[in-house]
Structure 1
Amino acid sequence: MNEYQRTSSSLLSAHQKTSHVVNSGISENLSSPIYHPALHLRFSRNCDISDCISKPHWYSNFKGSASFRTNNPPGQSKAKTNMKRPGNVTPAYVGTFALLLCLHSVTADYCKVNHCYNGATCVTGVGEEPFICICADGFGGDTCNLTETGPCSPNPCKNDGSCEVIAPTRRGDVFNEYICKCQPGFKGVHCQINVNDCEKQPCKNGGQCRDLDGDYSCQCPSPYVGKQCQLRCVSLLGMEGGAIVESQISASSVHYGILGLQRWGPELARLNNQGIVNAWTSAAHDKNPWIEINMQKIMRLTGIITQGASRLGTAEYIKAFKVASSLDGNSYITYKVDGQQRDKVFVGNIDNDRTKTNLFDVPIVAQYIRIIPVVCRRACTLRMELLGCELHVYSNMAGCSEPLGMKSRFISDGQLSASSSYRTWGIDTFTWHPQFARLDKVGKTNAWSPAYNNRSEWIQVDLEKTKRLTGIITQGAKDFGVVQFVSVFKVAYSNDGESWSTVKENTGNDKLFQGNTDNNTHKKNVFEPPVYARYVRVIPWEWHERITLRMELLGCDD
């Protein structure tokens, strides 16, 4: 028995039980209301068309013109009734049965929020039926969310939820079985409810959670970063370790001591630097001294470690200082007291040897950072280290600019190879092996140099496992007083040592890195985005005198 046969049977049964019938088969004296759950319609007892016309129960919220569409058995036309004025009488035809709806006893206005879809009109219902949807052409179902092509066209699921028909069943000429699969952060039959993602308190280390549509964000206190504030952004950025090279450090002035023989330059301002001349000191006549570090890309800076030094047996240090920063090296902003407009003065050192750490309440996002002495003891003398991390945190790594081991020999000789090696005067003792290509190596043969000067030569490092590479530092050398260096080079990488890729520009062309201009200065280049590889090759492209290279790789474990 199909849906329409069951409908007809129930209505006939109700008709046969009546004591009196009026108006073409509609019962006048039924003992209880007729309710048909399949059609979701309720028919009142003891009413006829004259009752509904003479004693109408108007819906206060139903005005204008609307249509109610019924689903009919095959072969019978669809009836469509238009109501042209406010009223509560809706004749509906199902097959040959004329039904009279006398809607009454409205207790609440459920249609203040329209529960009906696809342009349908919501009419407040009665009893167990709080509302009725009057569907537009082409739609059906309790809430007019179904179509003749199936319930998923158009998609009834909200917030990018996916609709799936779970059974090819039909009710009349429409499908009626589907489910919505919701995107993370949403729930409900139609994915209409935004889950409060902050209820589970996902933010760690004092982070403040903000609920978003289908997601959340954490406002992290310094120095924490990451999706859940789970990472400490306090990596040493390279003043002490050498990842920040000399060419990145500048100052307003330099002090020259002992008749100008001692130069206390900014390149010496490295934490724990040793030697007689081991720090930066500004010139005595400089009334507005500063020292600046160019990070070569925008970084997140969370703090600074400062240290003084001793000159001619006398302690010198900076007792108080300010910090300024810039994105472009032209326009600078001085760090402010939190929530105020006045410059923050940081407390510095109290002697020449012990370190002092200051963390920034709000991280600084900048490429250039400048330390401005305010109060100095004898002279403004400084050794320092910067704390921070990459602007964009990858995976679980907050910082990734550490030397990987060329200089420290953590990368062993066996991990280095090359296309060829040059021998000065053909003597084996003066062979420029790839294992000599270590940053700052000293000696008569203290770098790698190939047998030939052409673009087919290369030096290779096997890192023994995949690592994240963020940059490279290069350096030239001298051969019996002759200055030699690589001025332009390419970088290739591989995970198997056989298939190679070259670091590219945004245009898709091979990137040409600018190398050195002399034999001794460090030149740093960064990889943006980082490179993930086990094997790395440096391919000289242009050079001075002869291809000669010392280097260090920067990065971290993948």
Structure 2
Amino acid sequence: MRNIVETPCHPFLLQSNGFTLVGSSVQVHTSGESKDDWDAGSDSLLSFDFNNAHCSSRPPGDYCEVNVCSNGGICVTGAGATFICICPDGYTGDTCNDTEAGPCNPNPCKNDAICEVTGQSRRGDVFSEYICKCQDGFDGVHCQNNVNDCAGQPCKNGGSCRDLNGDFNCRCPSPYVGKHCQLRCISLLGMEGGGIAESQISASSVHYGILGLQRWGPELARLHNKGLVNAWTSASHDRNPWIEINMQRKMRFTGIVTQGASRMGSAEFIKAFKVASSLDGRTYTVYRLDGQKKDNVFVGNVDNDSTKTNLFDPPIIGQYFRIIPVVCRKACTLRMELVGCELNGCSEPMGMKSRLLSDRQISASSVHRTWGIEAFTWQSHYARLDKQGKTNAWTAATTNRSEWLQVDLESPKRITGIITQGAKDFGAVQFVSAFKVAYSDDGQSWSVVKDDVTSTDKIFPGNSDNNVHKKNVFEPPFYARLVRILPWAWHERITLRMELLGCDE
């Protein structure tokens, strides 16, 4: 004889297939007087249909007559339901047959909030302790409420705030940019300093003076340019003149500084002009103020030498920047500088030229002394862009690749670029023609900027003379406290003036 034993959660009344069994367990013998009512055969195993078993009529909340709950769950009768399973810790589902993932699965928090379990206490089978960590712009127990993100006046420098769903947008007055209008987009883009090469400047026409011997070409249109022939002038027959700068990448333009010139003793300048921009050099958009249907005409110069600054509000985004003269005195003659920044807005001078960075923040591997004289020492802190004087740059004591110039920003900054410049040592032209860049936060562990394509140390092109600026952009930018320039190639001696570009973000 074999026994089948089922032990439910309490004394029960089990009904199935016409049989009624009472007790705290079922013990059925397959032999005996009622053998004919079961499957035939001595000592055969009872086949009892538990799937068709059911609880007898009991009040809601009472124990079920048969516990159909798995994994130690407690079965009770429910109002409007055959049964309800109260599951133990770690289990869930109609019959406690699923593993409990916890209160954060699925995530009860709204609007991309993070659910975090803070304790293991529960109410029955429900976690009682979790919190929702809300994203900026939302609050509430489940981060279900969108708050007014402009209430705290997040926009700086006169920016206007627009509340969004869980975020905000600042409309920044020129020349400010950035999430909070916290960055000034006012870098000189390279006409005066030479960072913009001659090959990047073109024009509709050129004036030739004195029997064609003087060429007033577009490459001369640099602010404060000196000399007898020192500006761009369009040809006299050109009825639609223009001059254009190709920045070779998308830039943010926030302003322009213009200047005329004197030709044969006569003042010539542009009195009024328009500007246009293009992303591809084929399709151009003439600048208009917001809400205006007419092209904006800017006021230009009133003489040949003073400068006139115009700001663009909103700024202009483009690669090609074109100036279109409208009214000229004598001839359309121009010297100019563009004002703006990289698209990310983070390209402010970090303080080498302005002396915001002190002398003690600039160091080097060694310094050179001309003729060994102390007074002619080319100190590390002389490496400031456009510094003047007899000794006006840093020069290393040796000419090998172990030399370096270091700038300590005193806290990590976002570094987006560098401008370099050579110098003269008593008439001898000297400059760094190629270099690497390394950075660190502690001065012990250093990383060298890598080439995106080859993943090797990137070698940046340097200068080709002693005075013209050379700008290099770091893509992507890096964050660091300490920045080192590692000369890789040079002319005569390792000689450098420079400026770092970046921001505090």
Q: TM-score of the superposition, structure 1-length normalised?
A: 0.61
What do the CA deviations read for 1:390-415 (whole angstroms, capped 9, x no partner)?
42245xxxx51466229x89865994
Q: Is the 8 A contact 2:69 2:95 kept in 1?
A: no
* Correspondence for 2:178: 226
Map of 2:129 onto structure 1: 178
1:334 pairs with 2:286: yes
1:539 lines up with 2:496 in the alignment: no
Partner of 1:158: 110
1:501 alignment partner AA: S
Please tell me the residue identity of whatever aligns with 2:132.
K
Question: Aligned in 2, Cα 1:243/1:520: closer, same or farther, shift over 3 Å?
Answer: closer
Among 234, 251, 254, the residue aligned to 1:299: 251
User: Closer, same or farther in 2 for the Cα pair 1:296/1:437, shift >3 Å?
Assistant: farther
| Distance (whole Å) between structure 1 residues aligned to residue 408 and residue 57 of structure 2 | 94
**Aligned partner of 2:162 among 201, 209, 229:** 209
Instruction: Give matches, 1:521-532, under 5 Å.
Output: 521-532=468-479
For 2:352, which of 385, 404, 425 is the aligned residue? 404
Instruction: Give how far 1:194 is off.
Output: 3.5
The answer to whether the Cα contact below 8 Å between 1:247 and 1:523 also exists between their aligned partners in 2 is no
**How far did residue 298 of structure 1 move?**
2.9
Post-superposition shift, 1:521? 3.9
Give a deviation string over 1:48-86, Cα, whole Å, max 9, x none: xxxxxxxxxxxxxxxxxxxxx9999x78645478xxxxx
* 2:271 alignment partner in structure 1: 319
2:301 equivalent in structure 1: 349
Structure 1 unaligned residues grouped into runs of 5+: 1-22, 27-35, 40-68, 82-89, 96-134, 140-145
The equivalent of 1:102 in structure 2 is none
Taking the aligned partners of 1:337 and 1:227, their CA distance within structure 2 comes to 22
CA RMSD of aligned residues (A): 4.9
Asked if 1:502 is matched to 2:439, the reply is no
In structure 2, do the counterparts of structure 1 residues 239 and 280 end up closer, same or farther at CA, with 3 Å as the change threshold?
Answer: farther
Post-superposition CA distance 1:176-221 (Å, at most 9, x none): 5234414133344433343453566655636251422x32333445
1:417 and 2:364 correspond: yes
Tell me, yes or no, if structure 1 residue 308 matches structure 2 residue 247: no
Paired with 1:486 and 1:163, the residues of 2 have a C-alpha distance of 55
> 2:121 pairs with 165, 168, 171, which one?
168
Contact 1:432 1:447 (C-alpha < 8 Å) held by counterparts: no
The partner residue of 2:337 within 379, 385, 407 is 385
Q: How many residues align?
A: 435
Q: Tell me, in whole angstroms, the C-alpha distance in 2 between the residues paired with 1:409 and 1:165.
A: 48
Residue 232 of structure 2: aligned partner: 280
Whether 2:434 is the aligned partner of 1:488: answer yes
Report the identity percentage. Answer: 55
Say if 1:281 and 1:379, in contact at 8 Å, map to a contact too: yes
Change (3 A) 1:151 1:304: same
Runs of 5+ consecutive residues of structure 2 not aligned to the other structure: 1-55, 86-91
CA-CA distance at 1:376 after TM superposition:
1.3
Amino acid at match of 2:126: F
Match of 1:137 among 94, 102, 105: 94
Q: Which SS does the other structure have where 2:348 is aligned?
A: coil
Distance 2:386 2:73 in 1: 93
1:467-513 alpha-carbon deviations (Å, 9 max, x no partner): 65443333456779876643322122345555433222335421110
Q: Classify 1:207/1:295 alpha carbon distance in 2 versus 1 (closer, same or farther; 3 Å).
A: same
CA distance in structure 2 between the partners assigned to 1:307 and 1:160 by the alignment: 54
Partner of 2:316: 364
Check if 1:457 corresponds to 2:403: yes
Deviates more, 1:499-508 or 1:440-449: 440-449
